[in-house]
Chain A
């Protein structure tokens, strides 16, 4: 009886720790911040897509600015997160290039308006945390 109880507790603890590791948003945020680089933090995005689907956020970007979008995957994710920046229906940037998924991309905005940042797990589900940071602002005479 004691063995059964112990096994049950062990499985429960293991399951809990796996779940915690998978979606500990605070830990993901810390990791994402450490990968942000020298830029200025603007905002972060908590993504929880355990049930699949996609998550969309609106972001206002200003012209003549280099923004960095970096994302950290939950440790228990079944697949890597896809992060895409859209202007309406037009895809501007994605973190998946030639089949390889990258943890970040940069975008030099030249037209101030509202854009959409879309997250999804094309091959699975999971959670993630992303950060938008301002890396550089270009002055009028400065070329990109």
Chain B
């Protein structure tokens, strides 16, 4: 009797295993198809022009959208949710390519929201980030429940900001360790572009000099980004993005950045030594060039979030 029961259980378990494996195989096929779209599978196929290590080092050089958000807030302009990508759009992002780009977009939006302490909409953006991160298999870096708890208490917003940014940094490190720097490059591009997009809208509204200069200073970042993205030019999705960034790079050629060397200065503030840099850069950007750069930023952003 016991033997028979054991045998039946064995059959059931085997069948279950078979079904699971078959299902897994289908899922694997779907993943592989998606990976080809991304392409996570490029690793080990076509040789990269730059090594993963160099790409990782270069990616670190893209400035944080949080700094842009801080600068925007310092202009005194009101918060505008209309500018942001709606969390309802996440269902439109079905490929890893789109998910990675828009994960970056939502992360920049989250930085902007946190900077303005808009705790009432933080959760929906955290959910969008978590969902897209899961979609590209990096959801483990976002402890949604903890972040949600923090978001519900306005006194925790500084910690929420720190943990959100830190989670993104950890995810970025992990992606590069896993030789998935292509995904990392897309997240960084999305975040950087969204920061510029928000800044562009505020510039149009305020003509703020500090923001215009900051936009002009992105000339160096555009160059860096172009080099990174070109590494993946064999993928059709990347090709379109590279063309966009290439166009932006061309427009930035008219932005002149000059440097002069002044006197270095030392200040002591609250017991901390502060060095004032001796090298000073000046950004010169004509209004017509500013207009074409902003138009291009809007065009790329529309393409990313569509």
Is A111 a contact of B280 with CB atoms below 8 Å?
A: yes
Is A137 a contact of B74 with CB atoms below 8 Å?
A: yes
Is B281 a contact of A110 with CB atoms below 8 Å?
A: yes
**In the complex, A4 has a CB within 8 A of chain B:** no
Return A28 CB to nearest CB of chain B, in Å.
Answer: 13
Q: Which residue of B lies closest to A138 (CB)?
A: B210
* Known A-B contacts A60-B221, A93-B275, A108-B275; A41 and B162 likewise in contact (beta carbons under 8 Å): yes
Give Cα A59 to B64, complex, Å. 10
Give Cα A42 to B224, complex, Å. 20
Q: Interface-forming stretch among A61-69, A72-80, A119-127?
A: A61-69
Contact of A63 among B62, B213, B224, B267 (CB under 8 A): B213
Is A110 a contact of B169 with CB atoms below 8 Å?
A: no
Is B74 a contact of A106 with CB atoms below 8 Å?
A: no
Is A60 a contact of B61 with CB atoms below 8 Å?
A: yes
Q: What is the total number of residues of chain B having a CB less than 8 Å from a CB of chain A?
A: 38
* Known A-B contacts A40-B66, A93-B275, A134-B70; A111 and B166 likewise in contact (beta carbons under 8 Å): no
Give Cα A59 to B66, complex, Å. 14
**In the complex, A86 has a CB within 8 A of chain B:** no
Q: What is the total number of residues of chain A having a CB less than 8 Å from a CB of chain B?
A: 37
Cβ contacts B204-227/A at 8 Å (1 or 0 each):
000001100110010011001000
Is A140 a contact of B210 with CB atoms below 8 Å?
A: yes
List, in ascending order, chain A residues with CB within 8 A of B165's CB: 41-43
List, in ascending order, chain A residues with CB within 8 A of B259's CB: 111
**In the complex, A118 has a CB within 8 A of chain B:** no
**In the complex, B80 has a CB within 8 A of chain A:** no
List, in ascending order, chain A residues with CB within 8 A of B71's CB: 137
**In the complex, B134 has a CB within 8 A of chain A:** no
Cβ contacts B149-163/A at 8 Å (1 or 0 each):
000000000000110
Interface of A, secondary structure class, is strand
Is B161 a contact of A42 with CB atoms below 8 Å?
A: no
List, in ascending order, chain A residues with CB within 8 A of B58's CB: 58
Is B274 a contact of A66 with CB atoms below 8 Å?
A: yes
Cβ contacts B33-68/A at 8 Å (1 or 0 each):
000000000000000000000000110111110110
Give Cα A97 to B272, complex, Å. 11
Is A42 a contact of B67 with CB atoms below 8 Å?
A: yes
**In the complex, A49 has a CB within 8 A of chain B:** no
Is A106 a contact of B60 with CB atoms below 8 Å?
A: no
Is A106 a contact of B210 with CB atoms below 8 Å?
A: no
Is B277 a contact of A139 with CB atoms below 8 Å?
A: no
* Known A-B contacts A110-B279, A110-B280; A68 and B272 likewise in contact (beta carbons under 8 Å): yes
List, in ascending order, chain B residues with CB within 8 A of A102's CB: 272-273
* Known A-B contacts A43-B169, A58-B61, A140-B210; A110 and B276 likewise in contact (beta carbons under 8 Å): yes
Q: Which residue of A lies closest to B115 (CB)?
A: A40
Return B63 CB to nearest CB of chain A, in Å.
Answer: 4
Is B63 a contact of A106 with CB atoms below 8 Å?
A: no
Is B61 a contact of A114 with CB atoms below 8 Å?
A: yes
**In the complex, A33 has a CB within 8 A of chain B:** yes
Give Cα A29 to B162, complex, Å. 11
Give Cα A34 to B62, complex, Å. 26
List, in ascending order, chain B residues with CB within 8 A of A62's CB: 63, 67, 214, 217
Give Cα A83 to B70, complex, Å. 26
* Known A-B contacts A93-B275, A144-B276; A44 and B63 likewise in contact (beta carbons under 8 Å): no
**In the complex, B146 has a CB within 8 A of chain A:** no
List, in ascending order, chain B residues with CB within 8 A of A137's CB: 67, 70-71, 74, 210
Contact of A64 among B161, B210, B224 (CB under 8 A): B210
List, in ascending order, chain B residues with CB within 8 A of A114's CB: 61, 220, 224
Residues of A within 8 A of B (CB): 33, 40-44, 57-60, 62-66, 68, 87, 92-93, 97, 102, 104-114, 134, 137, 139-140, 144
Give the 9 A-B residue pairs with the shortest CB-CB distance, closest first.
Answer: A106-B274, A111-B281, A112-B217, A41-B162, A108-B276, A110-B277, A60-B63, A110-B280, A60-B61
8 other contacts beyond A40-B70, A107-B274, A139-B210, with CB at 8 A cut-off? A58-B58, A60-B221, A62-B63, A62-B214, A97-B273, A105-B273, A107-B275, A110-B276
